[in-house]
């Protein structure tokens, strides 16, 4: 009997430690540590290959500076993944310790991201709905699991206070929480999202959305030239008063004709003033406005974890972009 075999049989503590070390090594390759990915290039290459084989790309979405180069400092504070596209989600799903209601149809998670900096944590998820190769809806959900500073949330509030929005609404502020909602035009040009609302542009030009567009393009999905963003934002002070919890849900809705790839109006008609030039554009914008107001109670219940499955009426869940 060899020395290793004798040690295996006579040293149960050593045997347990060896098995635990092997298991931890395997888990570290499947779920790589962000700090180790940054300092060990070979480890990053290996874990990326394993993640690709398993259907999950664990490479980071890197923020770009003004020169177009990755911002290494920012990249150290966020990790991201590209979930397998074949998974389908309907109804109400868990998100960031709360709930996220999904409009009608089958949704696919296409990108996830976690930002962790200065004792705060923000989760982002992007889901897409498609019909016959056409993107009919895109959800960008963000929420804190650890509070952010109130200063970081100020820019979010300006999303609703913008003259380019189609619709704007808000609840009276009570000193503890802020809630607003809006609909706004979003253009799709050269595989990029564009919005006249500058705070909204900051969101849709983020790395996770750039990755989403690239992935949709690689999978040959067709994006409409314009979409309407139906957005809801909730900001709430923590009990300690040291920060705020934030949740936002942006549902980008496509005006494509069901069963076809026709879109009403010209790209320039998808503005607050330009939509008056085309009745079909104005009608679609109005239908999104009406739908969002009906959808708000379910977003609020989901934020409070009080939304029961299968309780959303089908007529309300069916947004104007949904194709039966």
The pLDDT tens digits of the residues spanning 175-222 come to: 788 899 999 999 988 778 999 998 899 888 888 998 999 999 999 998
Q: Write down the residue that tokens 């820019």 correspond to.
A: 155
Whether 71 has a pLDDT exceeding 60, the answer reads no
DSSP summary character for residue 73: H
Mean pLDDT across the stretch 244-257?
Answer: 93
In tens, the pLDDT along 91-113 reads 999 999 999 999 999 999 999 99
The predicted model scores a pTM of: 0.76
C-alpha distances (whole Å) from 233 to each of 38, 85, 183, 221 are 33, 27, 12, 29
C-alpha distances (whole Å) from 47 to each of 9, 27, 50, 112, 184 are 33, 10, 5, 17, 40
Question: In angstroms, rounded to a whole number, what is the distance separating the alpha carbons of residues 114 and 121?
Answer: 7
Alpha-carbon Rg for the chain, nearest whole angstrom, is: 23
Phi, psi of 159 (to 5 degrees): -55, -45
Question: In angstroms, rounded to a whole number, what is the distance separating the alpha carbons of residues 13 and 170?
Answer: 62
Do residues 251 and 195 lie in contact, with contact meaning Cβ atoms separated by under 8 Å? no
95: three-class secondary structure by DSSP: strand
Q: Which residues, listed in sequence order, are joined to residue 64 by a DSSP beta bridge?
A: 70
Q: Which residues, listed in sequence order, are joined to residue 247 by a DSSP beta bridge?
A: 143, 234
């Amino acid at each position: 009997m060899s020395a290793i075999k004798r040690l295996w049989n006579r040293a149960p503590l050593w045997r347990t430690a060896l098995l635990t070390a092997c298991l931890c090594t395997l888990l570290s390759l499947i779920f790589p540590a962000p700090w180790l990915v940054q300092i060990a290039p070979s480890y990053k290459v290996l874990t990326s290959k394993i993640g690709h084989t398993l259907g999950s790309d664990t490479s980071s979405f890197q923020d770009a500076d003004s020169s177009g180069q990755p911002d290494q400092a920012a990249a150290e504070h966020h990790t991201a993944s590209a979930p397998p596209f074949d998974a389908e989600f309907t109804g109400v799903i868990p998100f960031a310790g709360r709930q996220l209601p999904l409009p009608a149809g089958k949704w696919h998670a296409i990108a996830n991201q976690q930002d962790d900096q200065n004792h705060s944590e923000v989760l982002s998820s992007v889901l897409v709905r498609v019909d016959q190769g056409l993107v009919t809806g895109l959800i960008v959900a963000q929420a804190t699991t650890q509070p952010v500073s109130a200063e970081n949330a100020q820019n979010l509030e300006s999303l609703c206070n913008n003259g380019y929005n189609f619709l704007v609404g808000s609840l009276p502020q009570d000193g503890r929480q802020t809630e607003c909602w809006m609909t706004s035009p979003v253009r799709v040009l050269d595989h990029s999202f564009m919005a006249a609302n500058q705070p909204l542009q900051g969101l849709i030009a983020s790395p996770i959305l750039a990755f989403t567009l690239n992935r949709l393009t690689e999978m040959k999905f067709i994006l409409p030239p314009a979409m309407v963003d139906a957005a809801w934002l909730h900001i709430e002070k923590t009990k300690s008063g040291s920060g705020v919890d934030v949740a936002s849900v942006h549902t980008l809705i496509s005006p494509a004709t069901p069963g076809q790839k026709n879109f009403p109006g010209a790209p320039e008609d998808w503005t607050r003033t330009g939509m008056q030039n085309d009745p079909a554009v104005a009608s679609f914008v109005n239908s999104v406005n009406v739908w969002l107001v009906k959808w708000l109670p379910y977003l609020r219940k989901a934020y409070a974890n009080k939304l029961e499955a299968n309780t959303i009426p089908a007529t309300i869940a069916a947004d104007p972009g949904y194709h039966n």
